[in-house]
């Protein structure tokens, strides 16, 4: 690739990123939740977001429409007004309805098996995959070594272009 | 006797018989070496599809004529339902969705029998037998366990009506695409089974399966995208993907199918990954069956609901048989699945495709495990838990970042091998873009590490993808002196697979930025307001003007309550929104949200009426989702790329062989 084109591409990419970044940056500093007089409501909302509807499948408390959820939201406000902390309120609901109402899975006890499954899956695939790659690679040692290292820079460049051109055709 | 129901039930029963005949005739034809029998079996698949089409036509007729003597019509329709909504009624409810699924399956397999089976003499009998067996497996529950033609004990004056969740325009398109995507995995499965059964596990099955795999991948993608759009525009939680068990079931088959449409290229070009490719198509089909089973059986609600379900145990058996057959077939033929070539280098496109495959495998295992984990928790210790979005975002998010980076790496790497000097040259600029964009975003105030990494990776992916277009178009210009637009178009004409694929990657990069932006930088606020009061969210002021009620006119809607909201920005009114709540006559417990969204290039303002009291004080939930529209724009690019890849390649011009190398460099033939 000629140096001028490469430079133009880099410059183009940088400008695009900068423009997109500046354009979107109005959003970057934003933090969830409003300020001022809405503080109490925002605090309640934050707790609601950590709870699930006890009757539904995967519906968060803050947007559930069931009566039981309306009652739970009212309960959160009452308890907040009475000065209880967010953690206390979460504990109150998980005691009452079980762990299923907690949006964030407690990382303890039996639940650790899930984290074990995630880690195990990654390790398993990486281990099996690395072995398979190694076995597929093994035969390649038989390929004559001349094709790679023995070329000078211009030959290397020519070969690269040919392969690219061929890829383009395929 | 109800003639309509009898006709439909007979059609279904005959369809089951035809599918079983196809299995028997195909097996006998192969054993006795009687091509006429194999041909009869192939035609029986088409007959099965025709009979299933007749059955679904009968259901449609019963729905349109309000035939409330049929239990299924009573359950999903009502007199005031508009005809286009009756299309949605066709696939609602257990019997309806099961028949619709089976119908789409029969169409897919009939198309396969007509278009592909005649061109694969090596495996026509095996593919036909597999098709018949799959059809029979899904016709059995439609005939015996959840028939849409059961007669209602009494004939009511009017039906219950459509489930409120389905009374939405998006529901007219999302389920058909989703179900079509799920059933389309059956064709690659049937072809893979045919390849293994016949022992012809060479390039031929890969050539035959390619269009079907792409078709399936495209349908599954569109189904999932439409599902996200439906969730966003109707559910009222300001998001588009909730990691719901049903959503997970829908995306799971897409993962191995995506892996497969990539790894089949490695088999085409290098004769590698034969066993792996078969495992992927089997996994995709097994996961599609799992999805059906998972959703239909009530397993997602609880283990106890599963025990009460009619079709649950049946689909569990189908799933077990699918898995058992797959494992046995693969084990039986594994000796023949040796690669034709070995790897030449870890730094090659094939190796990056393989590593991408590993990532898709990990994603599928993680999502499957997390979807089933609540079931295990209930079974093992009788404690119900929920695995929700935060868990998935924590686990899947980083994996997707790795995926984006790997796609970029794969785009830059050449096939077979690259010398280290070439590698350095090719990676210098993309690495610069990655580091530069990360630094720039950090300088602009992006503090969330996850968002920073994801956006920088997306920008790099977009850069290397666009660079491929520029390089290709420049080559065309140099060769033919075309203008830039003509040169770009010529790229698509010349190599649809390659450049269509790049378009999909580009769409993915845009989608990733939108997903991160609308998730990490979402603002949410709630106002409890009397008319005239206002609250603020993400720079907007929302003034509540008052509530109004309007009577429903059709589709079982009794009444709609709407809240008028004036949107102000910097003290100036910039628009009005009217979120509401819709009540259904026969589903008083299930009101539906009527979300109102002000969509913009930069952000969406999403407003949802949560509730109100007798004094007219309303509870309004509002979200600001930055860059949300780009999720749909990116999806559009993705689907467009998918269509380009899928569209048939015009006859290829022959290109003369390259000139003789300048020195003694040897290239392998």
CA distance B531 to B488: 56
User: Is it the case that residue B202 has pLDDT exceeding 90?
Assistant: no
- Degrees to nearest 5, angle at CA B386 with B381 and B392: 125
Higher pLDDT, B159 or B417: B159
CB contact under 8 A, B667 and A162: yes
Q: What is the pLDDT of residues B69-121, one digit of tens each?
A: 999 999 999 998 998 899 999 998 889 999 999 999 999 999 999 999 999 99
**Domain boundaries of chain B, sorted by first residue:** 1-167, 202-228+243-336+346-411, 412-520+629-646, 523-626
Residue B19 has pLDDT above 90, yes or no: yes
What percent of chain B lies above the pLDDT cut of 90? 66
Flag whether residue A11 sits within 8 Å of chain B, measured between CB atoms: no
In percent, how much of chain B has pLDDT > 70?
Answer: 96
A52 vs B366, B388, B528: nearest CB: B388
Tell me the shortest Cα–Cα distance from B536 to chain A, in angstroms: 7
To test the contact with chain B by mutation, choose from A33, A58, A148 the residue with the greatest count of B C-beta atoms within 10 A, namely A58
Yes or no, beta carbons of A57 and B300 under 8 Å apart: yes
Give the nearest partner residue to A58 out of B386, B441, B470, using CB atoms: B386
Interface test with B, best of A17, A25, A95 (most B CBs within 10 A): A17
Residue B534 forms beta bridges with which residues?
B543
Is the Cβ–Cβ distance between B166 and B225 less than 8 Å?
Answer: no
Using a CB cutoff of 8 Å and minimum separation of 24, what contacts does B62-67 make? B62/B4, B62/B5, B62/B8, B63/B89, B63/B90, B66/B159, B67/B2, B67/B4
Burial (0-12, 13-18, 19+ Cβ within 10 Å), B559? middle
Interior/surface letters B66-101, b for 16+ CB within 10 angstroms, e for the rest: bbbebbbbbbbbbebbeeebbbbbbbbbbbbbbbbb
The CATH code of domain A36-102 reads 1.10.8.640
* pLDDT score at B669: 34
Q: Mean pLDDT by 10-residue block, N- to C-terminus, for chain A (170 residues)?
A: 57 60 50 53 89 85 85 92 91 90 87 94 94 75 46 66 65
* Averaged pLDDT, B214-222: 97
Give residue B661's pLDDT band: very low, low, confident or very high (50, 70, 90): very low
Question: Can you tell me the mean pLDDT for B595-603?
Answer: 94
Closest Cβ–Cβ partner in A13, A24, A104 for B433: A13
Are residues B343 and A133, on separate chains, in Cβ contact within 8 Å? yes
Give the pLDDT confidence score for residue B390 in this predicted structure. 87
For domain B1-167, say whether CATH 1.20.120 is its number.
yes
* Interface predicted TM-score (ipTM) over 0.90: no
Residue pair B412/B406 in contact by the 8 Å Cβ criterion: no
Whether the predicted pLDDT of B41 surpasses 50: yes
* Statement: residue B668 has pLDDT above 60: no
Distance, in angstroms, between B330 CA and closest chain A CA? 17
- If 0-12 CB within 10 Å is exposed, 13-18 middle and 19+ buried, where does residue B462 land? buried
Segment 114-143 of chain A within 8 Å of chain B by CB? 114, 117-118, 121-122, 124-126, 129, 132-133, 136-140, 143
pLDDT in tens, B452-503: 999 999 999 999 999 999 999 988 888 877 888 888 888 888 889 999 999 9
pLDDT of the residue at B659: 47
Tell me the nearest-neighbour CA distance from A88 into chain B, angstroms. Answer: 19
Q: Which of A10, A42, A153 is opposite residue B421, by nearest beta carbon?
A: A153
Count of beta carbons in the 10 Å neighbourhood of residue B586: 14
pLDDT tens-place string over residues B338-377: 777 777 777 788 888 999 999 999 999 999 999 999 989 9
CA neighbor of B72 nearest in space, from B95, B99, B97, B104: B95
More confident residue, B669 or B243: B243
**Residue A156 pLDDT:** 65
pLDDT band at B667 (very low <50, low <70, confident <90, very high): very low
B432 contacts on A by Cβ (under 8 Å): 10
Chain A residues 16-75 with CB within 8 Å of chain B: 17-18, 20-35, 38, 41-42, 45, 49, 52, 57-60, 62-63, 65, 70
Q: Residue B6: what pLDDT?
A: 95
Tell which B residues from 459 to 518 touch A, by Cβ distance under 8 Å. 459, 463, 467, 470-472, 474-475, 494-495, 498, 517
pLDDT band at B306 (very low <50, low <70, confident <90, very high): low
User: Would you state the pLDDT for residue B650?
Assistant: 67
pLDDT of residue B2: 87
Q: Single out the residue of B105, B91, B99 nearest to residue B45, CA to CA.
A: B105
Residue B664 pLDDT: 40
Q: Are B622 and B542 in contact (CB under 8 A)?
A: yes
């Amino acid at each position: 690739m000629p140096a001028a084109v490469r430079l133009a591409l880099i410059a183009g990419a940088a400008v695009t990123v900068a423009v997109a970044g500046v354009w979107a940056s109005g959003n970057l500093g934003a933090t969830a939740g409003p300020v001022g007089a809405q503080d109490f409501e925002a605090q309640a909302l934050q707790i609601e977001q950590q709870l699930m509807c006890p009757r539904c499948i995967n519906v968060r408390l803050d947007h559930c429409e069931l009566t039981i959820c309306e009652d739970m939201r009212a309960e959160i406000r009452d308890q907040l007004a009475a000065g209880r902390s967010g953690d206390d309120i979460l504990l109150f609901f998980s005691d009452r309805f079980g762990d299923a109402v907690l949006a964030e899975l407690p990382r303890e006890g039996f639940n650790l098996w899930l984290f074990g499954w995630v880690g195990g899956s990654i390790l398993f695939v990486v281990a099996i995959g690395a072995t398979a790659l190694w076995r597929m690679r093994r035969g390649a040692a038989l390929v004559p070594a001349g094709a790679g290292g023995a070329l000078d820079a211009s030959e290397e460049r020519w070969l690269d272009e040919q392969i690219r051109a061929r890829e383009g055709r395929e | 006797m109800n003639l309509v129901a009898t006709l439909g039930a007979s059609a279904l029963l005959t369809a089951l018989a035809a599918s079983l005949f196809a299995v028997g005739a195909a097996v006998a034809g192969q054993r006795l070496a009687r091509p006429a029998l194999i041909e009869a079996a192939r035609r029986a698949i088409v007959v099965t599809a025709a009979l299933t089409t007749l059955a679904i036509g009968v259901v449609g007729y019963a729905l349109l004529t309000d035939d409330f003597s049929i239990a299924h019509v009573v359950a999903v329709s009502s007199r005031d339902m508009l005809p286009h909504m009756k299309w949605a009624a066709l696939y609602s409810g257990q019997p309806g969705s099961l028949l619709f699924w089976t119908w789409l399956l029969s169409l897919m397999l009939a198309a396969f029998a007509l278009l592909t089976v005649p061109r694969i003499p090596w495996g026509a009998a095996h593919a036909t037998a597999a098709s018949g067996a799959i059809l029979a497996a899904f016709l059995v529950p439609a005939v015996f366990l959840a028939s849409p033609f059961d007669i209602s004990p009494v004939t009511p004056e009017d039906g219950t009506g459509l489930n409120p969740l389905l009374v939405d325009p998006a529901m007219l398109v999302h389920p058909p695409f989703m179900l079509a995507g799920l059933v389309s995995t059956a064709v690659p499965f049937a072809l893979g089974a045919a390849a293994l059964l016949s022992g012809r596990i060479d390039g031929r099955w890969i050539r035959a399966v390619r269009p079907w795999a792409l078709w399936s991948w495209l349908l599954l993608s569109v189904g999932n995208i439409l599902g996200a759009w439906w969730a966003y525009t109707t559910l009222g939680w300001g998001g588009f993907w909730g990691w719901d068990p049903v959503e997970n079931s829908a995306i799971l088959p897409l993962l191995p199918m995506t892996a497969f449409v990539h790894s089949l290229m490695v088999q085409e070009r290098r004769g590698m990954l034969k066993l792996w490719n078969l495992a992927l198509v089997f996994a995709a089909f097994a996961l599609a069956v799992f999805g059906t089973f998972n959703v239909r059986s009530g397993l997602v609600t609880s283990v106890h609901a599963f025990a009460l379900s009619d079709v649950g145990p049946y689909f569990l058996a189908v799933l077990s048989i699918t898995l058992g057959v797959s494992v046995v077939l693969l084990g039986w033929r594994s000796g023949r699945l040796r690669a034709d070539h070995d790897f030449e280098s870890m730094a090659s496109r094939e190796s990056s495709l393989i590593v991408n495959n590993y990532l898709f495998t990990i994603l599928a295992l993680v999502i499957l495990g997390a979807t089933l984990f609540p079931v295990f928790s209930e079974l093992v210790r009788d404690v119900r838990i929920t695995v929700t979005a935060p868990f998935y975002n924590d686990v899947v998010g980083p994996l997707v970042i790795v995926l984006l980076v790997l796609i970029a790496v794969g785009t830059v790497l050449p096939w077979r091998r690259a010398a280290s000097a070439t590698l350095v040259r090719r990676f210098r600029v993309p690495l610069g873009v990655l580091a530069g964009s990360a630094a720039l975003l950090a300088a602009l105030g992006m503090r969330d590490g996850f968002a920073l990494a994801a956006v920088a990776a997306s920008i790099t992916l977009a850069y290397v993808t666009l660079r491929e277009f520029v390089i290709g178009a420049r080559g065309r210009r140099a060769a033919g002196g075309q203008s830039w637009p003509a040169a770009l178009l010529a790229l698509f004409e010349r190599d649809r697979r390659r450049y269509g694929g790049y378009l999909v990657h580009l769409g993915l990069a845009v989608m990733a930025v939108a997903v991160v932006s609308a998730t990490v930088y979402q603002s949410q606020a709630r106002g409890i307001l009397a008319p005239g009061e206002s609250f603020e969210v993400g720079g907007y002021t929302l003034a509540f003007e008052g509530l109004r009620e309007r009577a429903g006119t059709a589709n079982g809607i009794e009444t709609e309550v709407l809240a008028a909201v004036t949107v102000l920005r910097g003290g100036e009114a910039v628009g009005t929104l009217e979120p509401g709540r819709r009540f259904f006559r026969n589903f008083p417990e299930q009101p539906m949200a009527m979300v109102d969204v002000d969509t913009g290039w930069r952000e969406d303002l999403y407003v949802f009426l949560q509730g109100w009291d007798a004094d007219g004080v309303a509870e309004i939930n509002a979200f600001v989702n930055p860059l949300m529209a780009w999720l749909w724009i990116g999806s559009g690019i993705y689907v467009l790329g998918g269509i380009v890849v899928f569209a048939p390649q015009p006859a290829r011009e022959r290109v003369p062989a390259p000139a003789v190398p300048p020195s003694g460099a040897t290239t392998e033939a």
